[in-house]
Amino acid sequence: MKIIVIGGSAAGPKVASKIRRLDGDAEITIIQKGKFLSMASCGYPYFVGGVFDDPNQLIATPTGVPRDPNFFSAVKNITARVETEALSIDREKKTVRVKHLPSGKEESLSYDKLVLTTGAKPVVPPIPGIDLEGVDSLQSMEDAMKLKEVAKARKCKNIVVIGGGLIGIETCEAFQLAGIHVTVVEMLDQVLPFLDYDMAKLVENHLKAKGVTIITGNGVKAIKGSGAVESVVLSDGSEIPCEQVVFSIGVRPNSGLATQAGLAVGRAGGISVNRFMQTSDPAIYAAGDCVEVTNLITHEKQPWPMGDAANLQGRVAAQNIVLGNVEEYEGIVGTGICKVFDFTAGSTGLSEKKARAEGFENIVTAVHAAPDKPGFMGGQPLIIKLLAEKTSGRLLGMQVVGTGEASKRLAMAAVAIQGRMGISQLVNLDLPYAPPFSPAIDNLITAAHVLENKWRGFMVGISAMELKERLDAGEKPFLLDVRGPDEFEQMRLDVGETLIPLGKVRSNLDKLPKDKTTEIITYCKISLRGWEAACCLKAHGYTNVKVLEGGLAAWPFAKKA
């Protein structure tokens, strides 16, 4: 069996290697346009930022052997043709026309099965100045090596990163840590669009505290300079001087070859595949950033350009090619994570914004803040937001930000969503507890408790967003801060709130509104004491008590300190 794999980044080498493991006799060829193979492209920002300096680490096996054509040949008996472009596919003849770029030599290669792992390409808008020296993306090994030199040289004083998504923020951190001032420009009103607004604002606060300039709700109109970039002009007319621009406004599936060959392509431009990773031509499979996969919550098809998914899809495609459609790739739930200096920010499933946009209206949410370990073990804060379907209680999404161990909680929630688990299972999870690893009740479980309390109607919550909007509209709800006077002195909302420490609420009811139907909003640092206070007021006949969810820890707006 002759197999051709077009694309040599993540999914391609995985398909080829897995086919080899299952079939010792197949003739396997990888066609790769660039020089490099099997690049750990998610590592580029860390290479640029100086976490490590040897570019070989991006293309080597764990024992340090570069994954070059020799490696593929000697170890895997796979032919890897680099610097070779696939020009076209003839599906009838089952051939691929390829061109060796250095020599210009063209030839046709025949296949029994063809695999498209052509990846994605960065979106670069057609604005003036886009071709100036110093305007780049961070998409290829060459980009990474160039931007690393920029970071190391430290000649540059100002860099503008255009796009505040995952890669943009990782790139921003890399340069800021190299001592270069970074401005992030994002068209939306927040960075990290996979987060809800209030969660994203917490990340923005952290970025700003680290010295990064964040500009949201503004696009790029032009790039100015003579020869090399000198400044960026934004949609609102403002101009930011800089010596380097990095575009990271997203990627688009690289599906030109597939389209040309008449293969079905989805609405977002990705190659259409069935659950076996097979295209509309049964002899052609596809995997990775170039395809559209099923979102297991919305059931919509979407591109999902992530290195982990690419590898898994490649493994599925390989098995199906050799064994005949035995393995299914069900799809994704949409899990993403990002290190942001001392913060971690991540999301799995749907954000509230996305859920509402997709027509999920009957949902319940909860925001929860708490340390990730007992205080005596040095716990660090985590803010978690959960989202569930009201009728079934099924978990739809989870977001997390903070300096604590966020990736564990996110991973658990991702598994729970894929296991279609609901609130009643989450509230009693049997998790690995010991003080070095978590509080006695893990943050994810406590967040589920808050969600259940709201779901069952025991607790009425109000989000930071909603309260802020009401305050901005001139409303003056009765706000009850139940922390200690020292905590209050250090930092507070300072919008006319009343302070009564939790232990004194019961004996100070006379300081509350006489009319027990008046709305009272309680909170503390994380709103655990806030919730105790709300229960206490309810017990004393107050009928309209709400808890500010996540307390001051989850309040992303200005505070008086």
| Residues carrying an active site annotation | 42
Is residue 306 part of the contact set for a copy of itself (CB under 8 A)? Answer: yes
Interface stretch with a copy of itself, choices 132-140, 153-161, 333-341, 382-390 (CB under 8 A): 333-341
- Which tokens in the block code for residue 424? 């009643």
532 belongs to the binding site for a copy of itself (CB under 8 A): yes
What Rg value do the Cα atoms of the chain yield, rounded? 27
User: Pattern of binders to a copy of itself over 149-168, x per CB under 8 A?
Assistant: -----------------x--
For the chain, the distance separating the N- and C-terminal CA atoms, rounded to the nearest angstrom, is: 70
Nearest to a copy of itself of 246, 338 (CB atom): 338
Largest CA distance in the chain: 89
Nearest to 137 by CA among 154, 125, 128: 125
Stretch that binds a copy of itself, among 86-94, 121-129, 136-144, 406-414 (CB under 8 A): 406-414
Segment contacting a copy of itself by CB under 8 A, of 87-95, 255-263, 496-504, 548-556: 496-504
**Closer CB to a copy of itself, 101 or 429, in the complex:** 429
Residues 87-126 that bind a copy of itself (CB under 8 A): none
Q: State the nearest-atom distance from the C-beta of 472 to a copy of itself, in Å.
A: 30
Which of these segments, 216-224, 242-250, 522-530, 553-561, binds a copy of itself (CB under 8 A)? 522-530
Closest CA to 102 of 37, 35, 36: 35
42 binds a copy of itself (CB under 8 A): yes
- Nearest approach, Cβ of 480 to a copy of itself (angstroms)? 15
Q: How many CB atoms lie within 10 A of CB 342?
A: 11
C-beta of residue 130 within 8 angstroms of C-beta of residue 124: yes
Indicate whether 333 belongs to the interface with a copy of itself (CB under 8 A).
yes
Q: What is the 3-state secondary structure (H, E, C) of 139-191?
A: CCHHHHHHHHHHHHHCCCCEEEEECCCHHHHHHHHHHHHCCCEEEEEECCCCC
Q: What span, in angstroms and rounded, lies between the C-alpha atoms of 254 and 259?
A: 10
52 binds a copy of itself (CB under 8 A): yes
Q: Does 545 bind a copy of itself (CB under 8 A)?
A: no
Pairing of strands 291-294, 301-303: antiparallel
Among 1, 21, 112, 209, binds a copy of itself (CB under 8 A): 21
Contacting a copy of itself within 227-246 (CB under 8 A):
none
What span, in angstroms and rounded, lies between the C-alpha atoms of 467 and 463?
Answer: 6
Residue number, 139 or 158, with CB nearest to a copy of itself:
139
CA–CA separation, 231 and 244 (whole Å): 9
The span of 151-159, 208-216, 368-376, 465-473 binding a copy of itself (CB under 8 A) equals 368-376
**Interaction between residue 509 and a copy of itself (CB under 8 A):** no
499 binds a copy of itself (CB under 8 A): no
Contact present, 149 and 136 (Cβ < 8 Å): no
- Name the burial class of residue 203, with classes exposed (0-12), middle (13-18) and buried (19+) by CB atoms within 10 angstroms of its CB: buried
Residues in 421-460 that interact with a copy of itself by CB under 8 A: 421, 424-425, 427-438, 440-442, 445, 449, 458
- Which residues between 471 and 490 bind a copy of itself (CB under 8 A)? 483-484, 487
